[in-house]
Amino acid sequence: MESFADFRAEARNWITLATGEYYPDILKDACELYKPVLVLFGQLLKSSESSTRLFLQISEQSDGWMRVQLARVFRKYVSPETPVEMLKQKAKAASFCEQFGKGFRPVPKVQAAFLSRPIPDEALCAVLWEYKDRGKKGYDLTERFFVLFRSTFPGLKISGPERAGKDILLGKIFAGYPKPDRPVDFVIFDRSGKDILAIGLARYDSDRGGAQEDDRTGGYQNCADEILGYAKKHGLRTKVIFINDGPGLLLGSMWADYTRLERSRPGKILVATLRMVPERITEKWLQS
């Protein structure tokens, strides 16, 4: 079987490109979608005596989608150094304000800045629009892999979130797994549905470079070593599959990094783009 490295000379032909959206074409839809968010933010801002109070009012919003969008606007106007994930945690709103409230921009300055912009604010709506489909390309990749795998191996079972959804935690797959909260994207079972043939991760890289390259492949190496170490200890034939696609693979040292990853455990780790799946993943390899 050819290795990932063997495809390098014609790498661009083995990459699947996801479709994107053009600027400024997205502005009309972006402004329609996020105008209500900015209007509500303005209303909450007017009724808040402090930035802390503004955040608490945002955290009290019952609509989850609206609360997250308001938190993103809050971050832009009030606390740009704060990760959005922290702002999303409704139950921790009060303690969050206690810890980080001193760094919030004073509400009069927020009010002045907000009133200096039109409603809807095209610039801010365009920024928020970027969040809308974050992860969509990865979901598309996973879904297409599941369809391709099932058509190629109708007798084998594959399990996992096909689009958005909770990752599979290995603690629920393997008894006594050393890191039970280790998330993976899919699990492949044999024809009996009992033996686990492979554990997999799927990622779409639109862009990748610098330290991100090392972080991604370094994290993959640790994950693979952990899974294969457990498999060896328990006498399992489980392998690790990394489905990676996108133009990011053509940048920097990514292709070489994935080649080294695959070579680190010959026959146990396989890296493939979506187009390589029919040629590289075989039932003979999975069952070996």
Q: What is the pLDDT of residues 237-283, one digit of tens each?
A: 999 999 999 998 998 889 999 999 999 999 999 999 999 999 999 99
pLDDT at 214: 55
- Break the chain into its structural domains and give their ranges: 27-132, 135-287
- Give the chain's residues under pLDDT 50: 209-211
Model-level pTM greater than 0.85? Answer: no
Distance spanning both ends of the chain, measured CA to CA: 13
pLDDT at 210: 47
The encoded tokens of residue 6 equal 């063997």
Let me know: does 142 contact 186? Beta carbons within 8 Å.
yes
pLDDT at 234: 97
From CA 186, how far away is CA 22, in angstroms rounded? Answer: 32
Contacts of 194 (CB under 8 A, 6+ apart): none
Alpha helices in the chain (DSSP H): 27-46, 51-59, 64-77, 84-87, 93-100, 107-115, 122-132, 136-152, 211-233, 254-264, 277-280, 283-287
From CA 227, how far away is CA 225, in angstroms rounded? Answer: 6
The mean of the pLDDT values for the chain is 90
pLDDT at 181: 95
pLDDT at 87: 67
From CA 160, how far away is CA 167, in angstroms rounded? Answer: 7
For domain 135-287, say whether CATH 2.40.50 is its number.
Answer: no
Let me know: does 20 contact 49? Beta carbons within 8 Å.
no
pLDDT at 211: 47
**Listed residue (47, 12, 58, 6) closest to 249, CA to CA:** 12
